[in-house]
Amino acid sequence: MNARLDHAQPYAVGLFRIVTGLLFASHGAASLFGVLGGAHGGGTVAAGTWPGWYAAAIQLVAGALVLLGLGTRTAAVAASGSMAYAYFTVHQPDALWPLQNGGEASAMFCWAFLLLVFTGPGALALDSLFASRASASPGHRDETRPETVTV
């Protein structure tokens, strides 16, 4: 049973990454473009306002990158940091626990993206497609494997 689960792990991580990125990008799209119900129940965030507009831009761009598996670790660091900032500046001053201060989503996104920083994108990521193309190109030398010399 463990061997089968271990074999499926990259796909589970990949699906986790896709869903998390989609949900995060949806928040950004709602705030920036007023889709999916808009920001805070309707409308958009005014362009250039701090921190709302910048948070929405990070949500849209980092969420899309994580969803696609492009630069996942870098995008996940930015996303995790933005959610930590949101939690400690917006939610935590109201109460200590996320359940009390309405910061559950910020806390969960923060930890989910931090997990992706350490696990990587898993399967079904565009990064792996580009990496496989680069390694298949003529004259490419795999830096991770030492060259063997026969005498």
Asked if residue 145 has pLDDT above 80, the reply is no
* Dist CA 24 CA 12 (whole Å): 18
DSSP-derived secondary structure letter, 90: I
Q: Give the per-residue pLDDT at 138.
A: 64
Interior angle at CA 53, CA 25 and CA 61, nearest 5 = 30
**18-66 confidence digits (pLDDT tens):** 999 999 999 999 999 988 888 777 788 888 888 889 999 999 999 999 9
- The stretches of the chain forming alpha helices (DSSP H) are 2-33, 52-68, 72-86, 98-101, 104-119, 126-136
Instruction: Quote the CA–CA distance of 28 and 54 in Å, as a whole number.
Output: 9
- Condensed to tens digits (0 to 9), the pLDDT of residues 82-125 reads 999 999 999 999 999 999 999 999 999 999 999 999 999 999 99
Question: Which residue type is seen at 38?
Answer: G
Radius of gyration of the chain (CA): 19
Instruction: Give the pair of three-digit tokens for residue 149.
Output: 């010399």
pLDDT value of position 131: 76
